[in-house]
Structure 1
């Protein structure tokens, strides 16, 4: 036997908001469409993706830190309204 396990390893990504590493399945992928940050729930949209936890705290932190501009390598402000609507707020 080679000693390898047959279980697939879950790829890890870093949340652009809180900067913590998590399994890719637990993060929301965000892509750039023009100047809008669009949530990619299925993970199939083309382009560079940025990952973040689907919680309002991480979304707010990423926006405040300008993490999306760095992740997508673009200057200037981005429209995050669609992303804010996709992440449910705790009531």
Structure 2
């Protein structure tokens, strides 16, 4: 079992995420983020591995975009009020805190 924690970063727009999510190695997981009052052009996703600082994963405006590592996709809703990060086949080393930011 591995655990992914999610924490929203607040800049000009407030974002909200589930506090944690858990899956088994190799079993896909979806991490969601709500940003109903977004003003920024892009939604950014970051990953913070234990003992390290946050590292940029992907940025998107709307629709879907592939994430190379960890393998997955980010989806931004047409109205841009929510987004999700799908990790297709997470490995034990992907256990981290995942952040969305607007």
Pair in the same fold by TM > 0.5: no
Length-normalised TM-score, structure 2: 0.24
Q: Which is helix-richer, 1 or 2? A: 1
Length-normalised TM-score, structure 1: 0.26
Q: Which is strand-richer, 1 or 2? A: 2
Bigger relative contact order, structure 1 or 2, given CA contacts below 8 A and separation 6+? 2
